[in-house]
Amino acid sequence: MDQWQELEAKYFMRTFSRVPLTFVRGQGAHLWDADGKEYLDFVSGWAVDSLGHCHPAVVKAVQEQVATLIQTSNQYYTVPQVQLAELLVKNSALDRVFFCNSGAEANEGAAKLARRYGEQFLNGAYEIVTTLGSFHGRTLMMVAATGQQRHQQLYAPLPNGFVNVAFNDIDAIRAATTERTCAVMLEPIQGEGGVNVPDAGYLKAVREWCDERGILLILDEIQTGIGRCGSLFAYQQFGIVPDIITLAKGIASGLPIGAFLATERASVFQPGEHGSTFGGNPVMCAAAYATLSYILEQGLVAHAAAMGERLVRGLLALKTKYPVVGEVRGRGLLLAVEFDREIGQDMLDGCLTAGLLVNRVKPNAIRLMPPLNVTPEEVDAGLAILDRVLAETTL
Ligand SMILES: *Cc1c(COP(=O)(O)O)cnc(C)c1O
């Protein structure tokens, strides 16, 4: 343990079970720890660093903005947030945006918007149907939305207004819909829950059900959005248009910003009904604008799709070589590899020693989410390390 880890243990709340590494520098898909050891980063700050670490386009945008104007409050207009709003709206099927600071806050805002919609159009309906195994954030309300007992038990009593039903089960959503329901909220692919991809017809069926009942469909694209799954938004791959989407992780390549977008019909907030002190901060918006413009101009969405296919091909080859490897699943550069036994932690540890960062998403699965601009060489280098570690781990 280095001195920073000892000091952390002394001063921090005990919320994080951290990997014993202290990072001091990053560049592209590479990180360096306090001892100068280099790592290939297939975690990307939890699918956050879309352009890798310290991308020059993001660094330049932040440096320029931070030296020009940092914060004014939302009583006034600032340029970067309007530019970012236009870019997001023009490249999505949604019409209006609200900026906040994190994913949980984006989901809170979306839930509040759905309640306003229910109040105005659905006789005061307020309940939101969400799914088991989902992850929607850490605020008390999002703990209620997140269908995971281990998060919920700790914080009873939870706020009212959420019903958790099985994922990938349209009948469960139908059965849970009542006069009180104003919306269904889902991740198009469950991220923290283990990279769970629903059956082909599921999201379409949910969309049709929401239309039939006149309720809103909220897609939590906080992890799946901004090119991560090989399309700018994951909903595009499922042939549907949601009423509301929430975004955060990948928008600004590492700077904290969240957003939710809604269609015109669902954009029912009136002045004063929602707000944020820091949301839409010019520096975060400049970083997000730089990230998103770069992704669009450089064709990084298609690149991410191609790199995802390359990674999957390599992982399937490993599956042939090592019987311990089970399902390889996900879309684009949001992938999980499942094993037939609980070697997730051993794989993570082995990869660390060999210089590759992966996430242990379940006891028997690891998750891979390299930056969108990862190169073919870096993908192959990651695969070579996984090959070696699999050999050692399953000896
Ligand atoms: C990470 C995540 C969140 C929470 O985002 P925070 O910025 O940590 O609040 C919500 N939903 C999904 C799908 C996520 O992956």
* Tens-place pLDDT, residues 230-256: 999 999 999 999 999 999 999 999 999
Instruction: For the chain, give the percent of residues with pLDDT over 70.
Output: 100
State whether 176 and 72 are in the same domain. yes
Q: Which residue segment(s) compose the domain that 38 sits in? A: 2-55+300-393
Ligand 1 centre to CA of 323 (Å) is 33
State whether 348 and 267 are in the same domain. no
State whether 161 and 286 are in the same domain. yes
- Final residue belonging to a domain, choices 297, 332, 358: 297
State whether 190 and 328 are in the same domain. no
Q: What is the average pLDDT score of the chain?
A: 97
Give the residue, by CA position, lying nearest to ligand 1 atom 10. Answer: 136
Number of structural domains in the chain: 2
Q: What is the pTM of this model?
A: 0.98
Instruction: Examine the pLDDT at 359 and tell me if it is beyond 90.
Output: yes
- Final residue belonging to a domain, choices 246, 266, 297: 297
Query: Is 135 an active-site residue?
Result: yes
Ligand 1 within 6 A of CB of 311? no
Give the mean pLDDT of 358-366.
97
Q: Cβ of 391: how many Cβ atoms within 10 Å?
A: 13
Would you state the pLDDT for residue 1? 64
Instruction: Examine the pLDDT at 282 and tell me if it is beyond 70.
Output: yes
Ligand 1 centre to CA of 217 (Å) is 18
Ligand 1 within 6 A of CB of 369? no
Instruction: Kindly give the interhelix angle for 300-321 and 376-393, rounded to the nearest 10 degrees.
Output: 20
Would you state the pLDDT for residue 165? 98
Ligand 1 within 6 A of CB of 260? no
SS3 content of the chain, % helix, strand, coil (to 5): 40, 20, 40
DSSP conformation letters of 289-314:
HHHHHHHHHTTHHHHHHHHHHHHHHH
133 in Cβ contact with 196 (< 8 Å): yes
Ligand 1 within 6 A of CB of 220? yes
State whether 279 and 306 are in the same domain. no
State whether 29 and 106 are in the same domain. no
State whether 222 and 315 are in the same domain. no
Would you state the pLDDT for residue 381? 98
Would you state the pLDDT for residue 395? 79
State whether 143 and 253 are in the same domain. yes
What one-letter code names the amino acid at 160?
N
Query: Is 380 an active-site residue?
Result: no
- Final residue belonging to a domain, choices 264, 297, 330: 297
Tokens of 392: 């050692």
Ligand 1 within 6 A of CB of 80? no
Instruction: Examine the pLDDT at 198 and tell me if it is beyond 80.
Output: yes
Atom number in ligand 1 closest to CA 224: 13
Ligand 1 within 6 A of CB of 135? yes
Q: Give φ, ψ of 19 to 5 degrees.
A: -70, 135
Query: Is 35 an active-site residue?
Result: no
Would you state the pLDDT for residue 385? 98
CATH of the domain at 182: 3.40.640.10
Atom number in ligand 1 closest to CA 46: 1
Would you state the pLDDT for residue 133? 97
State whether 87 and 155 are in the same domain. yes
State whether 206 and 307 are in the same domain. no
Would you state the pLDDT for residue 2? 84
Atom number in ligand 1 closest to CA 47: 15
Which helix (DSSP H) or strand (DSSP E) does residue 239 occupy? none
